[in-house]
Amino acid sequence: MAPSGWVEGFKLISRDEHRHVAYGTWFLREKALDPALRQHVAELIPLASAVLVPVDADPENYEILDYSMQETNAFAFNALNRRLKVIGVDLASLAAPAA
């Protein structure tokens, strides 16, 4: 039995997205040592972390799906750190002053 059009379309989209991600990863690896990229990532981290705070919540103490603010932040920053390591950037090095 041949796959349905939906399944085939989903496979093609998945393959295309994989190429986009692979190119983006390659590009960022090439730029990982660029101080401007590192500075830009460091500037974006506080903005990115703000999306974790629910709109009507106390930004100092909130829960998302019964997970504490600390658990949510730990999960998010561990995931971010893994992704940055793929391109050769250590999250801790972004907080450290440039030598």
Dump pLDDT digits (tens) for 27-53.
Answer: 888 888 788 888 888 888 888 888 888
47-95 pLDDT per residue, tens: 888 888 888 888 888 888 899 999 988 998 898 888 888 888 888 877 6
Specify the residue for token string 């971010």.
80
Q: Please state the pTM of the whole predicted model.
A: 0.63
**Six-digit token pair at 88?**
């050769």
Instruction: Specify whether the backbone of 66 is left (phi greater than 0), alpha (psi in -120 to 50) or beta.
Output: left
Q: Are strands 67-68 and 63-64 parallel, antiparallel or unpaired?
A: antiparallel
Strand, coil or helix: what is 1? Answer: coil
